[in-house]
A and B are shown apart, each in its own frame.
Chain A
Amino acid sequence: MSAKIRTQEEIAARVKALESMLIEQGVMTTQAIDRMVEIYENEVGPQLGAKVVAKAWSDPEFKTRLVEDASEACKELGISGLQGEDMVAVENTDSVHNIIVCTLCSCYPWPVLGLPPNWYKDPQYRAAITREPRKVLSEAFGLAIPEDIEVRVWDSSSEMRYWVLPQRPAGTEGWSEEELAELVTRDSMIGVGTTAEVPA
């Protein structure tokens, strides 16, 4: 195996070469490629997780079901699928802050968060987040976790897919689920960010 690092042009040519062979074999079609890209660019993304979180904040019984079995609860909202067949929602509390990672590859709960951002898949995050989570959150994400709050890092080594149920922000009493969903950021469900600021 060569240790040569390919340029973008070389990678693009290699991909097109393999694509051409797989098209001739009937393994791929450009129509199916375009459809799958469209799904993950426009349809499956963190707006779905935000919907689930907002419902959990609004409906205590749903939240109980979500924490009990996240995949089953998400199906109630029509949310399910690849890389989230068996999900666990881990709940942030006044005493616990959760973070997700996949140190061995790039496992991530696609049905609720879409495809992972590049930093999540890069060596730097995977190397540091289990060893120095407080330092990574503080230095890379500007998020300081007080020392009396326990930090739990969920390393997704099996096909179980973890994601974070953030705390409902103060000052949102009486908000609708749609309004609450606007506050739920992708990073708050990874555990590296907060929910959005509540307007004063």
Chain B
Amino acid sequence: MNGVFDLAGTDGVGPVVVPEEEPVFRAEWEKVVFPMFAMCFRAGFLGVDQFRHGIEKIDPAVYLKSPYYEHWLHSFEYHGERVGKVDMDELDRRTEYYLANPDAPLPDHEDDPELLAFIEAVVPAGAPAKRESDKAARFKVGDVVRVGREAPKGHTRRARYIRGAVGEVVLHHGPMIYPDTAGNGLGECPEHVYTLRFTNEELWGAEHAEPNGAVYFDVWDPYIELATHAATPEGVLA
């Protein structure tokens, strides 16, 4: 979907502010939201692509102005409701209760050794997105390709600033989960992933591009086609 989360090249959002130091988590609530992903993933609420799409659906004004981990909270609410595990009226009631009684305890519960073991195992093991596939790669390193103009309404990683742009394939990573299906609940449908190199001039125009630079961006096979226009690779990419 086209949205404000797709930030590359957006002007006027202000300077990058870098504090001298900051803790890993800035508030106690952030320490609860961060582990929610791994545990909601284990419980079958969402995969990582669906998680991202849940964040993309946040009201754009809220997205730009809210703290980072609140984005995660929105996605867990969205997917919790979608899979029938979170009743929003009940969530609202409990929110009012804890707002009035911030020190009220959480429900009594037992430790769960299996959940703890899951955390200990998944952190170092990860959850790889590479997949086996019989699909042949349509492109190879060195190919000059153009990113399609498609603007799907669901989840995609086709950032607007690379749509229509011509770049060179510089790395081929093999088949990986396809976010355009997985993020929309349509299955993994693996596709080959490539890294493309775009010159600054190609992305922003010669007049507005910084000199001597390039952007590297990963695309899935269906995003691109061989560039067929007459320009030489030197003319397009130099």
Contact = CB atoms under 8 A, between A and B. Distances in A.
A31 B117 CA distance: 11
B210 A37 contact: no
Given A23-B109, A105-B55, A127-B8, A140 B17 contact: yes
Contacts of A40: 24, 34
A4 B95 CA distance: 15
A147 B212 CA distance: 7
Interface of B: 5-11, 13-19, 22-29, 31-36, 38-40, 42-43, 45, 48, 52, 55, 57-59, 61-62, 64-68, 70, 73, 76-77, 80, 85-87, 90-91, 93-99, 102, 106-107, 109-112, 115-116, 118-120, 122-130, 157, 159, 161, 171, 173, 176-177, 193, 195, 203-204, 210-220
Contact of A16 (B8, B29, B65, B212): B29
30 contacts: A8-B67, A11-B73, A13-B98, A20-B106, A20-B107, A25-B85, A29-B110, A29-B112, A29-B115, A30-B106, A31-B112, A32-B116, A81-B125, A82-B126, A85-B129, A114-B24, A115-B24, A119-B18, A123-B7, A124-B17, A126-B7, A130-B215, A134-B210, A147-B212, A153-B213, A153-B214, A153-B216, A158-B129, A158-B218, A159-B177
Contacts of B68: 106, 118, 121-122
Residue of B14, B34, B98 ringed by the most chain A CB atoms within 10 A: B98
A17 B125 CA distance: 31
A29 B123 CA distance: 17
A44 B120 CA distance: 12
A14 B66 CA distance: 14
A21 B43 contact: no
A2 B80 CA distance: 18
Nearest to B92: A17
Contacts of B17: 119, 122, 124, 140
Contacts of A41: 23-25
Interface string A159-172: 11010000000000
Nearest to B216: A154
Contacts of A154: 216
Interface in A38-66: 39-41, 44-45
B67 A11 contact: yes
Contacts of A10: 95, 99
Contacts of B24: 40-41, 45, 114-115
Interface in A66-93: 80-86, 88
Given A20-B98, A80-B124, 19 more contacts: A1-B59, A8-B67, A16-B106, A21-B87, A32-B116, A83-B126, A85-B126, A85-B130, A105-B55, A106-B68, A118-B19, A118-B22, A125-B16, A127-B10, A151-B212, A151-B214, A157-B219, A158-B173, A158-B220
B102 A9 contact: yes
A1 B58 contact: yes
Contacts of B23: 41
Contacts of B64: 123
B207 to A, nearest CB: 13
Contacts of A150: 212-214
A102 B133 CA distance: 27
A127 B39 contact: no
Contacts of B102: 9, 12-13, 16
A155 B217 contact: yes
Given A31-B112, A32-B119, A36-B35, A158 B13 contact: no
B76 A132 contact: no
A123 B13 contact: yes
A153 to B, nearest CB: 5
A36 to B, nearest CB: 4
B111 A124 contact: no
B61 to A, nearest CB: 5
B129 A159 contact: yes
A12 B15 contact: no
A175 B213 CA distance: 33
